[in-house]
Every structure is written in structure tokens, then in C-alpha cells.
């Protein structure tokens, strides 16, 4: 995990615009004696192939009452983490996978107001450095799996990206249990802006896509008491 990046929002501030993203390199940093980047991948569960982590990012609201892109029984969380993986068995690269069948697998994790999250703090600590548009900051080694809840129960359904090109290439894997984060950690995300340095500041909040109709998509769960139709999936980080 090399750096935390504030992506260029175009056009700002469209709901659903990815606000900040942490790109992941699968190769070691040149000149480095050791792997300072990580190649994480997932397999199992609803996935027929191994999927490689490309990046992860967050969506959040202006207040704690909203922010997540998924809801559970009408409950909305203040934020949602997306870990975007691509099918490295079926496709040559991420760009091909985005447009292709079974190309992407996005792991979603709800963030809930609660205890301070120590591992997330490493990321939160550099947010002031990327307050403005196009800013980048070094993050150093980071284990994305530390952001997952201990409980691995999930829902899964075939769907689309929530940002353009909105392609229907995504297997969504949504964790049932949220990850707890502190109020001041959420506040750090809300202190980011859509604006470039020197421009009038436009706070970066509500960067989620509104709920979409389920259409005829089947949502399956890995756990009881709902029908058990999915098998456990695995996540592991590579060093």
C-alpha cells in the first residue's frame, strides 16, 4: 500500500464520486529491500476465481445519520468502506476487468460509530495532508484486512459499480457486522474538501450513490437463519 490519494472528482461534488482512494501496487517498491507494498487477494464464497485488490476507498455522509451505499433493513450507516478487487485469472488487467463479466469483486464494510479504531488511525492521521483535490500522501505498509470486522458473515449479490462507468461487472460481498470507528475519525473524513488549494472550500461529504432498485437481483447470505446458499470466503494479505 503506497499512498493515500485524493482522486480528482469530476464533476464535483457528484454524489457517488469516489472521494479518496488508496491504490495498491502488487510489486515491491523499486530499490526497496523488502516488500513495502501489499498484494491482497480474495477467493472462495461466491467467487470462482482469485481476485486481486486494486484499491480501497470510503463513502460517508455529512452527519452520522447517513453515508453508506447499502442499507440493512432500512438501517443506514454513517460510512462504508469498499475494497475493490479484480479477476486476475480471467483478465489481463483492471481496465479489462471493469468492463467484463465477473470482472470485479467489491467487499463492502459498514462503518459504525463506536470505539476508536487503532489500525484505521494510521490512515486517518494522513488525511490532513490530502485535504485538497489531487493531493497525495505516503501511507506506508498497511494491512487492509485490519479494517474488516471479526465476524465474516456476509451478503452477496451481482451488481454494478456505484460510480461511472457503473458497469454490471461486480460481485458485491457486504459484511453483515460493521466496523466500529470513533466520532473524531469520521470527522477527519468530513474535513476533506473537493477543492484545489486556493479555491473556495467545498466540504467533501455525502459522496455516496443513492439507493438503487434491487430489480431481479438475488441477494444471498452466508449465514443462518436466512437460506444458506453461499460458502465462506477467504481474505488474506500477502507480504
Residue ranges binding Zn ion (CB under 5 A): 82
Distances (CA, A) of 163 to 160, 176, 197, 239: 9, 23, 25, 30
Q: Which is nearer to Zn ion, 55 or 221 (CB)?
A: 55
Shortest Cβ 82–Zn ion spacing (Å): 4
- Minimum CB separation of residue 183 from Zn ion in Å reads 22
Query: CA distances (Å), 58 to each of 32, 189, 233, 238, in order?
Result: 29, 9, 22, 22
By beta-carbon proximity to Zn ion, the closer residue of 68 and 87 is 68
Residue nearest to Zn ion (CB): 82
* CB nearer Zn ion, residue 7 or residue 182: 7
Shortest gap between Cβ of 59 and Zn ion (angstroms)? 6
In sign, the C-alpha dihedral spanning 219, 172, 121, 201 is negative
DSSP β-bridge partners for residue 230: none
How far is the C-alpha of 78 from the C-alpha of 73, rounded, in Å?
Answer: 15
Measured from the CB of residue 162, what is the shortest distance to Zn ion in angstroms? 5
The pairing of beta strand 136-138 with beta strand 154-159: unpaired
Residues shown for the chain: 239
Bridge pairing between strands 170-175 and 47-60: unpaired
Cβ at position 25, least distance to Zn ion in Å: 20
Q: How far is the CB of 31 from Zn ion (least distance, A)?
A: 33
Give 79 or 137: the residue with its C-beta nearer to Zn ion. Answer: 79
Among candidate residues 61, 9, 13, the one with its CA nearest the CA of residue 186: 61
Least gap, CB of 32 to Zn ion (angstroms): 30
Our CB check for Zn ion shows the closer of 88 and 107 to be: 107
Q: Select 28 or 55, whichever has its Cβ closest to Zn ion.
A: 55
**Residue closer to Zn ion, measured from CB, 82 or 190:** 82
C-alpha distance from residue 110 to each of 53, 58, 64, 190, 212 (Å) = 18, 10, 12, 16, 17
Helices (H), the chain: 94-99, 118-124, 183-190
| 47-60/79-87 β-pairing | antiparallel
Amino acid at each position: 500500500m503506497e499512498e493515500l490519494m485524493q482522486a480528482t472528482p469530476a464533476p464535483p461534488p457528484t454524489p457517488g464520486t469516489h472521494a479518496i482512494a488508496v491504490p495498491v501496487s502488487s510489486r515491491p517498491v523499486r530499490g526497496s529491500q523488502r516488500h513495502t507494498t501489499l498484494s491482497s487477494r480474495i477467493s472462495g464464497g461466491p467467487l470462482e476465481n482469485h481476485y486481486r485488490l486494486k484499491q480501497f476507498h470510503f463513502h460517508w455522509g455529512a452527519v452520522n445519520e447517513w453515508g453508506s451505499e447499502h442499507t440493512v433493513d432500512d438501517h443506514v450507516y454513517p460510512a462504508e468502506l469498499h475494497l475493490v478487487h479484480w479477476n486476475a485469472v480471467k483478465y489481463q488487467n483492471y481496465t479489462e476487468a471493469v468492463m467484463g463479466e465477473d470482472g470485479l469483486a467489491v467487499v463492502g464494510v459498514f462503518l459504525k460509530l463506536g470505539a476508536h479504531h487503532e489500525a484505521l488511525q494510521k490512515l486517518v492521521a494522513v488525511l490532513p495532508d490530502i485535504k485538497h483535490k489531487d493531493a497525495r500522501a505516503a501511507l506506508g505498509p498497511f494491512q487492509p484486512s485490519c479494517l474488516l470486522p471479526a465476524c465474516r458473515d456476509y451478503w452477496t449479490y451481482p451488481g454494478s459499480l456505484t460510480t461511472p462507468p457503473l458497469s454490471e461487472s461486480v460481485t458485491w460481498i457486504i459484511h453483515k457486522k460493521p466496523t466500529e470507528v470513533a466520532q473524531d475519525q469520521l470527522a477527519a473524513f468530513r474535513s476533506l474538501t473537493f477543492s484545489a488549494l486556493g479555491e473556495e472550500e467545498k466540504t467533501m461529504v455525502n459522496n455516496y450513490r443513492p439507493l438503487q432498485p434491487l430489480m431481479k437481483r438475488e441477494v444471498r447470505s452466508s449465514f443462518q437463519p436466512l437460506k444458506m446458499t453461499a460458502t465462506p470466503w477467504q481474505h488474506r494479505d500477502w507480504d
